[in-house]
Amino acid sequence: MASSTVTEQDVRHLRRAVELAGNARGSTSPNPLVGAVIVKDGRTIGEGFHARAGEPHAERIALGACEEDPAGATLYVSLEPCCHEGRTPPCTDAIVAAGIGRVVVASDDPTEKAAGRGLGILRDEGIAVEVMDGEIAEAARLLNQPFRKHAHTGRPLVIFKSAMTLDGKVATRSGDSQWISGESSRARAHRWRAECDAVAVGIHTATQDDPLLTARIEGVDRQPRRVVFDSEASLPLDSQLVTSAAEVPVILVCSRAAKRTATDALRNAGVEVIVTTGENEAARVCSALDELGARDVQSLLLEGGPHLAGVFLEAGEIDEARMFVAPLFAGGREARAAIEGEGVERIDDAVRAVDVDVERIDDDVLITARLREW
């Protein structure tokens, strides 16, 4: 912990703040997930979380929910309070005006407009400030990985999702892949779509499966933008993606090799076209991520196929992998693996996850592997 004055009660209240923040998963982008708890004389007198962009921040919600005067109370917040004027007023102003005596923060805000400034303002106003480290700080950071990566790099967090057989195949030799994972696993994947800013596939997947790439579950606040990596801009105009572009945005990522007639036709059909630069596919993926980040895409669910996944891996742009393993064997030398490309020559050069979690979902096993932390 950051200070000897931090107690186990502080950790408990911060855990509650992090728990509250998670209630708005998928609804706040491009803002972070934030939860807040206000405690006075050992009792929680107010709590809240930031529900969606443009609405009041967690600190103001918690202050508004207070059952009594919060003067002298301790504010527990999962992320450093903001001190800048955006779509809502600075939270530091509200904290000072309420007479809060102490603020305990689980994690920093890495954005240039924040990065410790809010905490400095609070200290200048005579408010005691504690910044946590350890497990609760990590939990708070992990909650906002998309926000944090975007702040550090300008690019979205890339989550690679795939479903494979026990022998590592994502499709048979004929290309059939529906359905490897079970119904519950597919429902989980739809929830991930709802939580991400965008979902991406390659042109082979787009033409082979003709997917909608929408989140088709109950309680979805917004649909992700659909992104197709298609170097020659060959996405059919009668595909489900193009014909639904007016309802849910579609972004096509192509190279300079794409014909002007093809890109113009897609734009006229309502598709946004991004022309990437770079000497190879990996460089063009990085260029695309820069462009997507500039459009406030902070999280990208990469759903395939194997060629595109291989390019992202070679570009060093897979931050997390979520792999469903089904109790099936497909066999076949020509059946496709989850990730293709050149690969490494030695196991010592393989990308190693920094953290792994395993979960049983009906007959499937979900392996979540985090490759880096932001």
Task: Report the distance separating Cα 217 and Cα 10, nearest Å.
Answer: 37
Work out the average pLDDT over 216-221.
86
Q: Which residue has the tokens 């107010």?
A: 46
8 A C-beta contact, residue 234 and residue 203: yes
**Given this model, what pLDDT does residue 1 score?**
44
Phi, psi of 241 (to 5 degrees): -65, -50
Task: Report the distance separating Cα 243 and Cα 245, nearest Å.
Answer: 6
**Given this model, what pLDDT does residue 363 score?**
96
- Per-residue 3-state assignment (H helix, E strand, C coil) for 222-252: CCCEEEEECCCCCCCCCCHHHHCCCCCCEEE
Q: Does domain 8-143 have CATH number 3.90.1150.10?
A: no
β-bridge partners, 324: 163, 366
Q: pLDDT digit string (tens) for 317-340?
A: 999 999 999 999 999 999 999 999
**Given this model, what pLDDT does residue 130 score?**
92
**Given this model, what pLDDT does residue 86 score?**
74
**Given this model, what pLDDT does residue 194 score?**
95
The pTM assigned to this predicted structure is 0.91
Closest CA to 289 of 154, 159, 149: 154
**Given this model, what pLDDT does residue 228 score?**
98
Q: What letter would DSSP give residue 146?
A: H
Just give the CATH number of 147-370.
Answer: 3.40.430.10
- What Rg do the C-alpha atoms of the chain give, in angstroms? 23
Closest CA to 163 of 363, 332, 300: 363
Q: pLDDT digit string (tens) for 104-145?
A: 999 999 988 877 788 999 999 999 999 999 999 999 999 999
Residue 42: what residue type? G
pLDDT band, very low/low/confident/very high, at 218 (cuts 50, 70, 90): confident
Task: Report the distance separating Cα 213 and Cα 225, nearest Å.
Answer: 9
**Given this model, what pLDDT does residue 89 score?**
84
Question: Where do the structural domains in the chain lie, given as residue ranges?
Answer: 8-143, 147-370
Q: Which residue has the tokens 């706040």?
A: 28
> Does the structure show a pLDDT above 70 at 3?
no
> Does the structure show a pLDDT above 60 at 251?
yes
**Given this model, what pLDDT does residue 66 score?**
96
Active site residue 59: yes
In order, the DSSP letters of 68-114 are: S--TT-EEEESSPPP-S-SSS--HHHHHHHHT--EEEESS---STT-
**Given this model, what pLDDT does residue 219 score?**
82
- Mean of all residue pLDDT scores within the chain: 94
> Does the structure show a pLDDT above 60 at 266?
yes
8 A C-beta contact, residue 78 and residue 140: yes
Task: Report the distance separating Cα 100 and Cα 97, nearest Å.
Answer: 8
**Given this model, what pLDDT does residue 212 score?**
95
Q: pLDDT digit string (tens) for 144-183?
A: 999 999 999 999 999 999 999 999 999 999 888 889 999 9
Q: Are strands 336-337 and 169-171 parallel, antiparallel or unpaired?
A: antiparallel
8 A C-beta contact, residue 239 and residue 205: no
Q: Hey, what are 235's tokens?
A: 């996405």
SS3 124: helix
Name the catalytic one among 47, 59, 291, 320. Answer: 59
8 A C-beta contact, residue 210 and residue 238: no
| Percent of the chain at pLDDT exceeding 90 | 86
Least-confidence region, from 95-99, 107-111, 239-243, 363-367? 107-111
Closest CA to 208 of 168, 160, 169, 176: 176
> Does the structure show a pLDDT above 90 at 99?
yes
8 A C-beta contact, residue 67 and residue 93: no
Task: Report the distance separating Cα 322 and Cα 336, nearest Å.
Answer: 18
